[in-house]
Each structure stands twice: as C-alpha cells, then as structure tokens.
C-alpha cells in the first residue's frame, strides 16, 4: 500500500485516510513505489484537471529532471502530448529525452525562450508546468501559445513576479497555480482515485516508471537533504528504514 500523506512522512508509522491510499502498482517494488504518490498526484491533477491537457498539444515541463518533473514528462508523453522539457546540463537533458521528452532545453547553457520558440515553430506551449514561480513568470507567459495555460506548482525563484497583462490578453492565456497540500480531503480522494484509475495502469504496463536517484536510510535523512541541495538529484530521493 502507498499513500498521499498530509505531511509528516519522516516516520516509521503514519495515519492516513483510506481514500488517500492506493495499492502498490503491478511491476514495481514497495520501496520504489514510494516515489510515485505525491509526484503522480501532482502531475496528474495539474496536467489533466487544471491544465486540461489534450492529445497532440505541446507541454513544456520546466524542471523535467525533478521529482515531479520526471513524472510529468512521462505522463505528458503517455497522454499523447508533445513534451518539451528544461533541464540543467547535457546529461540531465539526455535522461529527460529517455523519459519521453521530444525536445530538451539545457537551461544552463541555452536561451530557454528562444529554444522553445524554435522547437515549436514560434507557437509556444499549450501548457507550461512550472516549478520556478515568480522569477520564471515573464518568460513562461512569453512561451505560451494562443489559449495556453501556465500552471505554477513551485516557487523556486520566488513568490512574486511581473505579469504582462497585455501579453496575456493577446494570447487569451491563463495563469493559475495549485498546491496538493491545501486541498480538502474530498479533493485529495478524487485525485488519488483518478491516479489509481488512469496512472497506475501506465505504471503496470511500463509506460511510466518511478524515477529514483538514491535510497537513504531514514536515520541519515540529513544526507538526503544534502543530496537534494547538491543539485545532482534526478528524480526522487527515498528515505528507507
Ligand atoms: N503544488 C504542489 O502540489 C506541489 C507538489 C509537489 C512539489 N511541489 C513543488 O514543486 C517543485 C518541484 O518539486 P520536486 O520535488 O520536483 O523538486 P526537485 O526534485 O528538487 O526538482 C526541482 C527541479 O527544478 C529544476 N530547476 C532549477 N532551476 C531551474 C531553472 N532555472 N530552469 C528550469 N528548471 C530548473 C531542477 O532542474 P536541474 O537540476 O536539472 O537544473 C530540478 O529538476 C518544488 O518547489 C516543490 O515544492 C509542488
């Protein structure tokens, strides 16, 4: 059994509503499966419920190498989107390609706006799934296609930014954001159920895999934090007993 927790996951035992649990998907071990619930629920609800991603659309995943991003790249591809991702450095970019991104822009060495525009024949992305927040706002709006949706899920570059409303209006675009943690129990139950119905079969048939960078013993949790701060992690770090 795996669960979407309210928080407090650094524990040997947790209490969780049954509606926020799912069986371990077929083909995946119990420990590996721990990489899935939060990332899959975040990717699913933001791409499908909020972003209204449709087959054939272009999805830009800002941070395709992250715990959420590496799942979102795979999910976008499995849902029939054309996936463009950003990643820091050529090795991380190559791994995003292996996960299903057709185009990957190295944000450390390339001009992301120019590269994404070039990759989309100047049109931009129908959905941008963003972990940058305020610091990425202007570029993300520039990168939206007509009718595009910017879905902010992270604030790694701050909580405020300048929004060019004229650009937004001209594109008939939407800027929105969500957090999983603030949802009601009912909403979490619906997201978890949808993930069980739609995403778990993709895991079982191999279209989507948990991306685990390292397993670290729970009593060495600081090592896991140091790893995350090193910028080298691709996917998830798991704390194990
Ligand atoms: N809203 C929600 O419900 C929800 C749920 C879960 C997580 N989150 C948030 O989502 C964010 C990502 O979570 P995570 O677990 O995936 O974190 P993570 O594993 O640390 O990933 C962060 C990613 O950001 C990328 N990044 C850093 N600077 C970048 C830049 N300038 N351009 C493009 N990408 C850049 C990194 O890519 P490189 O290292 O390759 O540069 C890395 O892949 C966090 O802020 C977290 O709090 C939100």
Segment holding 2, helix H or strand E: strand 2-3
Q: What is the pLDDT of residues 95-150, one digit of tens each?
A: 999 999 999 999 999 999 999 999 999 999 999 999 999 999 999 999 999 999 99
The pLDDT value recorded for residue 81 is 98
At 191, give phi and psi (nearest 5°): -65, -45
Query: How far away, in angstroms, is 63 Cα from ligand 1 center?
Result: 5
pLDDT at 54 over 90: yes
Q: What is the full DSSP assignment across 42-77?
A: HHHIIIIIIT---TT-EEEETTTTSHHHHHHHHHHH
Mutate to test the pocket of ligand 1, among 5, 156, 211 (most ligand atoms within 8 A of CB): 156
Domains of the chain: 2-37+181-240 (3.90.180.10), 54-177 (3.40.50.720)
* Closest protein CA for atom 19 of ligand 1: 66
Question: How many A from CA of 235 to the centre of ligand 1?
Answer: 10
Nearest-angstrom CA–CA distance, 178 and 136:
16
What percent of the chain has a predicted confidence (pLDDT) above 90? 97
Is ligand 1 within 6 A of the CB of residue 65? yes
Q: Look-up: residue for tokens 């619930």?
A: 37
Residues in CB range of 99: below 8 A, 6 or more apart: 64, 70, 73, 74, 77, 211
How many Cβ atoms from other residues are within 10 Å of residue 108's Cβ? 12
Q: Is the CB of 156 under 6 A from ligand 1?
A: yes
Mean residue pLDDT across the chain: 97
The answer to whether the predicted template modeling score (pTM) of the entire model surpasses 0.85 is yes
Q: Whose CA is nearest to atom 46 of ligand 1?
A: 154
Does the beta carbon of 100 lie inside 6 Å of ligand 1?
A: no
Which pLDDT belongs to residue 239? Answer: 96
CA atoms within 13 A on the CB side of 162: 2
Find the mean pLDDT for residues 164-182. 97
Residue 236 has pLDDT above 90, yes or no: yes
pLDDT-derived band at 77 (thresholds 50, 70, 90) equals very high
Residue 82 is encoded by which pair of tokens? 């054309």
Cβ neighbours of 185 (radius 10 Å): 11
Distance CA 191, CA 233 (A): 27
| Cβ-based neighbour number of residue 157 at 10 Å | 15
What are the phi and psi torsion angles at 80 (to 5°)?
90, 15
pLDDT confidence of residue 122? 98
| pLDDT on residue 149 | 98
Look at residue 183 and tell me whether its pLDDT is greater than 90.
Answer: yes
Kindly state if the Cβ of 129 falls inside 6 Å of ligand 1: no
Q: Across residues 83-104, what is the average pLDDT?
A: 98
In this predicted structure, what is the pLDDT of residue 12?
A: 87
236 lines ligand 1 (CB under 6 A): no
* The token pair that represents 1 in the structure block: 């059994």
- The angle, 0 to 180 degrees and rounded to 10, between the axes of the packed helices 67-78 and 90-99 is 40
Read off the pLDDT of residues 8-47 as tens digits, 9 standing for 90 and up.
Answer: 889 889 999 999 999 999 999 999 999 999 999 999 999 9
The gap from C-alpha 182 to its chain's centroid, in whole angstroms, comes to 17
Across the range 198-209, mean pLDDT stands at: 98
How buried is 217 (Cβ within 10 angstroms: 0-12 exposed, 13-18 middle, 19+ buried)? exposed
Distance of CA 74 from the midpoint of ligand 1 (Å): 16
Residue with the nearest Cα to atom 45 of ligand 1?
154
Rounded to the nearest angstrom, the distance between the alpha carbon of 68 and the centre of ligand 1 is: 7
Above pLDDT 70, what percent of the chain? 100
Q: What are the structure tokens assigned to 20, written together?
A: 């926020």
């Amino acid at each position: 059994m795996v669960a979407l927790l309210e928080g407090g996951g650094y524990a040997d035992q947790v209490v969780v509503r049954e509606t926020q649990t799912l069986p371990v998907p077929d083909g995946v071990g119990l420990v590996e499966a721990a990489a899935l619930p939060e990332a899959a629920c975040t990717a699913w609800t933001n791409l499908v419920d909020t972003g209204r991603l449709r087959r054939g659309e272009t999805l830009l995943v800002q941070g395709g190498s992250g715990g959420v991003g590496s799942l979102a790249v795979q999910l976008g591809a499995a849902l029939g989107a054309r996936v463009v991702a950003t990643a820091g450095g050529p090795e991380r970019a190559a791994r995003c390609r292996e996960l299903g991104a057709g185009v990957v822009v190295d944000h450390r060495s390339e001009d992301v706006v120019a590269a994404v525009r070039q990759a989309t024949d100047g049109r931009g992305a129908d959905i941008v799934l963003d972990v940058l927040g305020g610091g990425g706002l202007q570029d993300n709006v520039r990168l939206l296609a007509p009718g595009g949706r910017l879905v902010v899920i992270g604030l790694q570059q701050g909580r405020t930014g300048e929004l060019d409303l004229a650009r937004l209006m001209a594109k008939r675009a939407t800027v929105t954001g969500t957090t999983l943690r603030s949802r009601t129990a009912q909403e979490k139950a619906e997201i978890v159920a949808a993930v069980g119905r739609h995403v778990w079969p993709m895991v079982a048939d191999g279209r989507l895999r948990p991306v685990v960078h390292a397993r670290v013993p729970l009593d060495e949790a600081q090592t896991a934090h140091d790893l995350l701060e090193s910028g080298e992690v691709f996917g998830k770090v798991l704390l194990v007993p």
